[in-house]
Chains A and B, each alone.
Chain A
Amino acid sequence: MRWLDKKMEHSARGLAQRTSRRGFLGKLAGLVAGGAATVPLLPVARAQDNPFPEEQGDPNSCEYWRYCAIDGFLCGCCGGSANSCPPGTEMSPITWIGTCENPVDGKNYIVSYNDCCGKSSCGNCLCQRNQGDRPVYQPRISNDLNWCLGTSSNIYNCSTAIIIGAALDT
């Protein structure tokens, strides 16, 4: 839900004033894909901080490659990580998936966006990217649904991005 990131508000307004309408959206998309970061850090600069050695980038940035179809608060900004839930929450056993390309090896991977549940909205690092997202009649690839299902509480806290495996068609 990148348009909910209020930190983009003033930048977006400024962009709208400086650019043509036609050029605006592409620039807006580029801006907000970075989430709260108004000056996105280069992947190399962040690589040393990345707990995933085969990858590059900042796993707490909305631009990170695993988040190509995510919609929600990044768990790495909520006390968890890209593949773990924050303390005291419960990971949903069922979820939606995306297919994202890892820029390091050029392979497509299946990413499972398991939600973490039982506490209210984390509120940090809101991120929405919709590559491959489809309407709710295709739920396994729809990010409009709250996937806190099969958990003791269906209250949504944040979303992970867990690698399930390489996609077969690459």
Chain B
Amino acid sequence: MDKILATVVVGAWLVTAQPVLAEIQPEPLGVVETLPETYPAHWIIVQDGSFFHMSDGKFMVIDADSDEPATRFKGMFNGSFIPQFYQAKSKPEMYVAETFHSRGNRGERTDVLTIYDKRTLAPIDEVIIPPKRASQMPLLYSLQLVDDESLALVYNFTPATSVSVIDLSAREFVGEIPIPGCALVYPMGGRAFSSLCSDGTMLTVLLDDNGAQASSSRTEAFFDVEADPVMEKAAIIDGIGYFPTFMGNVVPIDLKGTTPSVGAKWSLVGGEAGGWRPGGLQLTGSDARGHLYVLMHPEGYDGSHKDPGVEVWVFDPDARRRLRRLELELPAITIGLTRDDEPLLLATNINLEIDVYDANSGAHLRTIGGFGQETPFLLHGSH
């Protein structure tokens, strides 16, 4: 009897102690996450050039503040065959210039400017453009917007060089501007752009209301293409482009108006010994205070201009003065910055992971890797 009673008591205890689990309710189907229209300040967009499978490029939205590998990945969108990228500042749109062949790696070629919604990361429209866009390593100045972001400009290379003009309001291609002997698109004030030229000059084209060429002009030659060529990988700060040179100088060019104004060249290196030079894939960046960041390596030589950098030097470009040197944990090929007042410095290191630093102190905060990226060629702070 005692045994029976004990069993009953224990059984009753088990019944009462066991939490009552609610039955799982049916869940809604078809839920797809969305992102905020304005991304948090430390979210970044990682441009994976997919060098080993170029037709499957992608862009990943990552929370660079997060130490949680699973949840810091916020979403992604695609770009075909070494796409070029631009993120609008005035509207929640992003643009990808990309190339498709009708049979994957063969067949008819189609180039498009694809327009993505920042909130859904889904393509919302596309504009067919001439199948001429330059397929080259990702460069910031292959695709730019001008005239209050109403016109998109895509750099073409066939090897004849030109620029395709797209009216973003009408969502249509409106014309092609030849730029013989020149390359890339640097945004100017108003309906104008400039390009760097092989004779050491800068060509500027002013567009009319229809997106056709209204006029063009050239600067005097301002750099020596043999002795100390400028790099095309400039940082534009408050409308002034800072173009590093192979030998460690920088040329400021005021791009705010409709004709560029070339300023005096100054040295990034100063009297520093050790053969320091700028180098890398995207080797310049800037922060909200207008400071210029340059990826640097010592013992420079002919051909070291794309070598990984071991330090980032930070300059006040107005004062032409170096503010600090940031030593990197690992050499890096590309840098980028977030756009807030407490910026993060981002660096694609030689392991092709992304090192995150406090841009003010230089402290290494974390390394972001292992999330499927293979060749994170460009790192964009988000808007």
Q: Are A121 and B159 touching (Cβ within 8 A)?
A: no
List the B side residues contacting A136 at CB < 8 Å. 134, 136, 139, 157, 183-184, 232
Q: Which of B226-275 contact A (CB under 8 A)?
A: 229-232, 274
Task: A122 to B229: give the CA distance in the assembly, Å.
Answer: 32
Instruction: Tell yes or no: B109 within 8 A of A by CB.
Output: yes
Is B310 touching A21 in the complex (CB atoms < 8 A)? Answer: yes
A21 touches B327 (CB 8 A): yes
Q: Determine if A94 and B159 form an interchain contact, defined as CB atoms under 8 angstroms apart.
A: yes
B120 CB within 8 Å of chain A: no
Does B304 sit within 8 A of A, measured CB to CB?
yes
Check if B216 is an interface residue, CB within 8 A of chain A.
Answer: no
Contact of B304 among A1, A21, A22, A29 (CB under 8 A): A29
Whether A9 lies near B350 (C-beta < 8 A) is yes
- Are A24 and B331 CB-contacts (below 8 A) given A29-B304, A155-B54? yes
- Can you give 11 A-B contacts (C-beta < 8 A)? A16-B330, A25-B331, A120-B53, A121-B52, A129-B303, A136-B139, A137-B198, A139-B183, A146-B136, A153-B105, A155-B55
Q: A131-B303, A137-B196 are in contact. Are A1 and B51 (CB under 8 A)?
A: yes
Q: Which of B105-121 contact A (CB under 8 A)?
A: 105-107, 109
Q: A9-B350, A121-B54 are in contact. Are A3 and B333 (CB under 8 A)?
A: yes
For the residues of A in contact with B, the DSSP-based class is loop
A169 to B242 alpha-carbon distance, docked (Å): 35
Cβ contact within 8 Å between B331 and A16:
yes
Q: How far is the CA of A16 from the CA of B35 in the complex (A)?
A: 39
Is residue A170 contacting chain B, with contact meaning CB distance below 8 A? no
A13 to B183, CA, bound (A): 37
CB contacts (< 8 Å) of B107 on chain A: these are 153
A12 to B332: give the CA distance in the assembly, Å. 12
Which residue from chain B places its CB closest to the CB of A21 in the assembled complex? B310
Which chain B residues (50-97) contact chain A, with CB distance < 8 Å? 51-55, 81-82
Asked if B137 CB lies within 8 Å of chain A CBs, one says yes
A156 and B54 contact, Cβ closer than 8 Å, known pairs A24-B331, A137-B183: yes
CB <8 Å contact, B304 and A153? no
Q: Nearest Cβ in chain B — how far from A113, in angstroms? A: 14
B101 adjacent to chain A (CB < 8 Å)? yes
As a 0/1 sequence over residues 136 to 156 of chain B, the CB contacts with chain A under 8 angstroms (1 = contact) are 110100000000000000000
| Contact residues of A between 58 and 77, Cβ < 8 Å to B | 68-69
- B196, B304, B331, B375: the one contacting A135 at CB < 8 Å is B196
Q: Measured between C-beta atoms, what is the minimum distance from B260 to chain A in Å?
A: 15
Most chain B CB inside 10 Å of its own CB: which residue of A6, A13, A68, A130: A130
Q: Which residues from chain A contact B109 at a C-beta distance below 8 Å?
A: 153-154
B182 within 8 A of A: yes
The verdict on B177 contacting chain A, using a C-beta distance below 8 Å, is: no
Would A152 and B232 count as touching, CB distance under 8 A?
Answer: no
Q: In the complex the two chains form, is B304's CB within 8 Å of A137's CB?
A: no
Which 6 A-B pairs have CB atoms at the shortest separation, nearest pair first?
A131-B303, A130-B303, A137-B183, A146-B135, A144-B137, A135-B232
Interface size counted on chain B using CB atoms at 8 A: 55
Q: A interface vs B, CB < 8 Å?
A: 1, 3-4, 6, 8-9, 12-13, 16, 21-22, 24-26, 28-29, 68-69, 94, 118-121, 123, 128-139, 144-146, 148-149, 152-156
Q: Please, which residues of chain A bring their CB within 8 A of the CB of B135?
A: 145-146, 148, 154, 156
Known: A13-B351, A121-B51, A146-B82. 4 other contacts (CB 8 A): A3-B307, A25-B298, A137-B183, A137-B195
Interface residues of B (CB under 8 A from A): 51-55, 81-82, 99, 101, 105-107, 109, 134-137, 139, 157-159, 161, 182-184, 195-198, 225, 229-232, 274, 297-299, 302-308, 310-311, 327, 330-331, 333, 350-352, 375
Q: Are B53's CB and A121's CB within 8 A?
A: yes
Whole-angstrom CA separation of A68 from B301 in the bound complex: 13
CA distance A6 to B350 in the complex (A): 8
Cα(A8)–Cα(B333), bound, Å: 15
In Å, the complex CA distance between A149 and B307 comes to 27
Q: Report Cα–Cα, A119/B109, bound state, in Å.
A: 14
Q: Do residues A4 and B352 form an inter-chain contact, with CB atoms below 8 A?
A: yes
Asked whether A13 lies within 8 Å of B330 as measured between CB atoms, the reply is: yes
Cβ of B262 to closest chain A Cβ, rounded Å: 15
User: Is B55 within 8 A of A28, CB to CB?
Assistant: no
Q: How far is the CA of A146 from the CA of B138 in the complex (A)?
A: 11
Complex Cα distance, B81 from A75, in Å, reads: 20
Whether A155 and B81, one on each chain, are in contact in the complex, defined by CB atoms closer than 8 angstroms, is: yes
Given A135-B231, A137-B197, A145-B134, decide whether A153 and B331 contact each other with a Cβ distance below 8 A. Answer: no
Determine the chain A residues whose CB is within 8 A of the CB of B99 once the complex forms: 154
Among the listed A6, A119, A139, which residue makes an inter-chain contact with B157, where contact means beta carbons less than 8 Å apart?
Answer: A139
Residue in B closest to A138 when the chains form the complex, CB atoms: B198
| CA distance in complex: A155, B50 (Å) | 13
Q: Which residues of B contact A154 (CB under 8 A)?
A: 81, 99, 101, 109, 135
Residues of B with C-beta under 8 A to A118: 105-106
Contact B106 A153 (CB under 8 A): yes
A29 — which chain B residues lie within 8 A by C-beta?
A: 304, 307
